[in-house]
Chains A and B, each alone.
Chain A
Amino acid sequence: MVENVTPTIKDNMREPIKASEIDPKFKYQLTKMHGAEKLLKCFQCGTCTSDCPVARYSDSYRPRTILHMARLGLKERVLKSDTLWLCAACFTCTDRCPQDVEVASVIRVLRNLAAEEGFFPAVFKDQCASVLESGYAFKIPELRIKKRETLGLPSLPKGNPESIKKSLKGVNFMKHMKNKGESPAKQ
Chain B
Amino acid sequence: MNPLPNSKYLIFLGCAIPYRVSAYEISSRKVLVKLGVELIEMPEFNCCGLPLDPVSHETMMILAARNLALAEQQSLNILTLCPGCAGSLKKVNKILKEDKTLREQINGHLKESGLEFKGTIEAKHLLQVLKEDVGIDNIKKAVVKPLTMLKVAEHNGCHILRPKEYIGFDDPEDPQTLKALVEATGATCLDYIDETECCGAPSVGVSDKVALQLAKDKLSHVKQVDAQALITICPFCHIMYDTNELRIEKMFNEVYGIPVLHYPQLLGLALGMTPEELAFSELRVSAKKLLEQVNEGAK
Interface of A toward B, CB cutoff 8 Å:
1-3, 5-7, 9, 34-35, 53-54, 56-58, 61, 85-92, 94-95, 102, 104, 108-109, 111-112, 115, 120-121, 123-124, 127-128, 131, 135-138, 140, 144-145, 147-148, 151-154, 156-160, 163-164, 166-174, 187
Contact = CB atoms under 8 A, between A and B. Distances in A.
Nearest to B158: A90
Interface size class of B (residues with CB under 8 A): 35 or more
A9 B56 contact: no
Given A88-B200, A160-B46, A127 B51 contact: yes
A122 to B, nearest CB: 9
Nearest to A114: B55
Contact of A120 (B55, B59, B163, B207): B55
Interface in B247-287: 251-252, 279
A167 B207 contact: no
Interface string B99-110: 000100000111
21 contacts: A2-B252, A54-B210, A85-B54, A86-B206, A88-B210, A95-B163, A108-B54, A108-B57, A123-B205, A137-B15, A137-B16, A144-B19, A148-B22, A151-B26, A152-B26, A164-B66, A167-B109, A167-B110, A167-B113, A168-B62, A169-B109
Contacts of B206: 85-86, 121, 123, 187
Interface in B90-136: 102, 108-110, 112-115
Contacts of A7: 207
A39 B252 CA distance: 39
Interface stretch (B36-44, B180-188, B226-234): B36-44
A52 B206 CA distance: 16
B209 A6 contact: yes
B3 interface: no
B58 interface: yes
B197 interface: yes
Given A167-B66, A171-B62, A140 B163 contact: no
Contact of A108 (B22, B53, B108, B113): B53
